[in-house]
Structures are given as structure tokens and as C-alpha cells.
Structure 1
Amino acid sequence: MSGKFITFEGPDGAGKDSVLDAIVPELRAQLGDKLVVTREPGGDPIAEQIRDVILDPQNTAMDDRTEALLYAASRRQHLQDVVEPALARGAVVLCDRFVDSSVAYQGAGRQIGEQAVFDLNQFATNGLQPDLTVYLDVPSEVGLARIEQHRKDTQYDRLDQEELTFHKRVRAAYQRLAKANPQRIVTIDATKPLNQVIDDVRSLLRHHVVTD
């Protein structure tokens, strides 16, 4: 595949949406139809339907392994329909969350095993890895406070019901992933003012997308 696959990761409240909202128009102006912006879970019609099931706040009885399997199923469909065709035609794909999220949230947060979730997703993705992962790091307390400050009723989903200890496990897993994969995962300090975080991500992408 000749394109570039760049993923964005971070615990809840890290500011991924705000950063992407700022940088996507700039990249679109440079790359045109060579830029594909997508998300997980979701990104195509079937995967979006699975997303609705996963995040429905009414589905409190969902088993933890069922949740992990649904994420992997959504991911597989998304890769087949969106990511792999875009990479094959040489596009730059920016994806909001990928396998690292499942390892962190289901493997560590749900405590069903980081390696087990990683192995499940190796099957789902056939081993596809991002060329670059931008990890926005923020303490759990800070991230959750941001979410509460900006919350709207329509933004409330099933994962928002989790306690602080869950989110701390998620962040710790992300930090382990970043330490274990330094060539792929670049950590950005998301406690800085938003404009500085955006500048840091912009500089990183300029190197990887434009001059690399």
C-alpha cells in the first residue's frame, strides 16, 4: 500500500476532536482528495451501526468481551470499506482511534487482558499497523473535568459512565504502549493550551505528511 495511515489516540478529554477540527482543513487544502478522515468505531455504514450498539447508554448489560469483539468487528469492516482502499490509491488516512484504543479501553480499562485484545485485533486487521500514531496525553482527572465542563446530553454515551479508576487504567495502558512503540507513537502533552497542542501536532504532521 502506497498511502500513509496516521491514527490519533488519547484518553477521554485529551482534545482529539478539537485538534482534528483545526488541522484537517489545513491538510485538506494541501492534499485535496488524497486526504481521508475517518473514525473508529464507525467510519462506514456497517461499522457505524455497530458503533451505535457499543455506545448506546442503554446497553449496560453488555459483556466486556462482547464489547471487545464488537470493536474488532467494526474495525474489520471499516478497514475493508474505507482504510485499505484509500491507502491503496496513495491517500493519507487520518483515523480517530484504532487498535491502541481497544488495548487501552477493553484490555486495561475492562481488565480482560491487553495481550488478548491485541491478538484479537491482529486477526481483525490482518496485522495492519499505522505509520504514525499521535497520542495526546492528559491526566485522567483533567480529561474528565474537561468533558464534564463541556458536556451536552447528546454527548453522553455508555463509556462515560465509568469511574475514575477505569480511566486511570486506560491512560496507564496508553503510556505503556507509547513506551513500547517509540518509533510509531509520538506523545503530545495535551495539558498545554489548545493552540500549543495544535501547533505541536501540526509540526509533527508537517514532517510526516509533507516532507517525509
Structure 2
Amino acid sequence: MSNAVFEALELKPHAYPGVLVTLCGVDGAGKSSLMKKLESACTHAGLNCVTTFTPTSRIRKDALFREMVDSHWHTFKASSEPDASVRRVDMLGILLSIMGDLVQHLTDTVIPALGRGDVVFCDRYVFTSQAEIGTRSDPAATAPVLRSIAGHVLRPDVAFGLNVSGATSHRRVRSRNDVNDQPPPMSFLTRQVAAYRAVFDVNGVVALDGERSIDETYRAAISRIAAIERVAGRLGPIAAEHAAGTLAAC
């Protein structure tokens, strides 16, 4: 990642009756664990919830996308400064693929759920794309493209960003004991962690300390969700008492 400053994304406000909650962070930050607890609490409080993730399986399994991602990763490992023209093509291709998948997923899955009044939890969102591309290249190189597409992406009602150190990310991923899910080198993780923090800051993402216990992180997050007017109105007395731990006990 260069020293270039990330741009704030101008996302599209939505007026659907549902609520969109997004969670971003490096691998091992605790996104899935937090989302599970938040979804459980909201479901027990009587809300209809949908959990999803991006990039979707559709793009993850796409042969051309996999070729671009794998090719870039091999180039990165071979040289810390791959040819600039090749890197730009790779990053634009990857960005366009990911963003196209996100916009399609919003249309197919997220917007219908919001229209029904559901609470939608999305594991990874456009902020992840911005940070990941910025980790691998100069953010300014793809900023115009990202800027133009961002206007078609829904603004979350609350966007959470989980921050952990590179060492914590590395340790947690290693502990999964999955040969197909190994952490990247620490040099890469250091840049990645810095990129995520910068993206969270410039976009006003609600930063959560992923180094803390999942219960502490959960309490900080659920209070933000309970404060959303459309949620608070439906939760009734539960929302009003969340500070005393009523909702956290669900």
C-alpha cells in the first residue's frame, strides 16, 4: 500500500423499512462470530434477520476471477514491486469483478430483504473491497472507478469495522488448522491492517476493538443497532433497556 490517502465513499442512501448492518475487517478479526451473536439477539427480540456475505460464491468460483486473484498473488510473492501496468490491469479487473458481484447481490438478495423490513447482516462490504485493493496497489489508481460504482451501493444503517493487529489475525487464522486457509506473510498483514484502519477512519465506519473478548465487542455493537430508530421502534421496551443489558442477555 502506498501513502496515498483513501477517499471517502459516497454511498447511496436507502429508504427501505429494513436495516442494513455490515461488518468488515481482516481475516481473523471476528466478523463471523460477532455477526452470529448479533443475528441471534435480534432474532430473539422478534426481528426477521438475514445473514449474507460478499464477495458471493458466484464470483469466488468464477474461473476468470480466480485466475486474476491467483495471478496477482503469485506476482506479489515473486516481487514486492510487480510491473505497474500489469498490477493496474489486475487490480481494475479484480475490483470490477467484486463490485459487479456486490451490486448484483444487493439487487438479488439485500434489497428484497430490506423491502420486507428485515435486518440484513452482511459479512464484508464495499469497505473491504476498498481496503483490499488499497493493500495491493496505490488506492489512487482505482479510486475513480470505485468512486463511480459506489454511488450504486447502498449506505449501511450501521457499518462496523473490526480492528485487530496483524499478529492476532495471523494467530487466529493459523488456529483454524485448515490447509486451504493459511495466513499471508506478516509483511502483507501489516499493510492490510493499516489499510483497513485508514478505510474505516475516512468512511466513518464504527470501529470495534477485535482484540477484546467477543462479548465485549458484541455489547458495543448491539448498542449501536438498538439505537437505530427503525429497530428501536420495533424492539419497544427491549431497545429502551439495552443499556441495562436486557438485549445483551437475549
With structure 1 as the length reference, what TM-score do the two structures score? 0.80
Determine the structure 2 residue equivalent to 1:39. 53
Aligned amino acid, residue 156 of structure 2: P
Could you tell me which runs of 5 or more consecutive residues in structure 2 were left unpaired when the two chains were aligned. Answer: 1-14, 73-89, 234-250
Q: Choose from 53, 60, 85 the match for 2:70.
A: 60
Q: Choose from 146, 158, 162 the match for 1:132.
A: 158
Cα distance, 1:166 vs structure 2 = 2.5
Cα distance, 1:210 vs structure 2 = 3.4
User: Can you list the C-alpha shifts for 1:147-179, whole angstroms capped at 9, x where unaligned?
Assistant: 10123235x2xxx56322322222222222232
Which one has a bigger Cα radius of gyration? 2
Aligned residues of 2:103 and 2:153 also touching (Cα < 8 A): no
Cα distance, 1:67 vs structure 2 = 1.9
Aligned amino acid, residue 132 of structure 2: Y
Aligned residues of 1:122 and 1:128 also touching (Cα < 8 A): no
Q: Choose from 181, 193, 198 the match for 1:176.
A: 198
How far, CA to CA, are the matches of 1:197 and 1:67 in structure 2? 32
Q: Choose from 134, 137, 142 the match for 2:168.
A: 142
Cα 1:15–1:114 change in 2 (3 A) is farther
Cα distance, 1:81 vs structure 2 = 0.2
1:49 maps to 2:58: yes
RMSD in angstroms over aligned alpha carbons? 2.7
Cα distance, 1:125 vs structure 2 = 5.7
Aligned amino acid, residue 136 of structure 1: L
How far, CA to CA, are the matches of 2:144 and 2:186 in structure 1? 23
Aligned residues of 2:162 and 2:207 also touching (Cα < 8 A): yes
Could you tell me which runs of 5 or more consecutive residues in structure 1 were left unpaired when the two chains were aligned. Answer: 43-47
Q: Choose from 75, 91, 96 the match for 2:118.
A: 91
Determine the structure 1 residue equivalent to 2:187. 165
Determine the structure 2 residue equivalent to 1:195. 215
Determine the structure 2 residue equivalent to 1:73. 100
Cα distance, 1:78 vs structure 2 = 0.3
Aligned amino acid, residue 198 of structure 1: Y
Determine the structure 2 residue equivalent to 1:14. 29
How many pairs does the alignment contain? 199
Q: Which structure 1 residue ranges, 4+ long, deviate > 3 Å from structure 2? A: 53-59
Counting aligned pairs with the same residue, the percent is 27
Aligned amino acid, residue 143 of structure 1: S
Aligned amino acid, residue 175 of structure 1: R
Cα 1:197–1:68 change in 2 (3 A) is same
Cα distance, 1:57 vs structure 2 = 9.2
Determine the structure 2 residue equivalent to 1:23. 38
Cα distance, 1:76 vs structure 2 = 1.6
How far, CA to CA, are the matches of 1:181 and 1:207 in structure 2? 20
Aligned amino acid, residue 180 of structure 1: V
Query: Which of the two has greater helix per residue?
Result: 1
1:4 maps to 2:19: yes
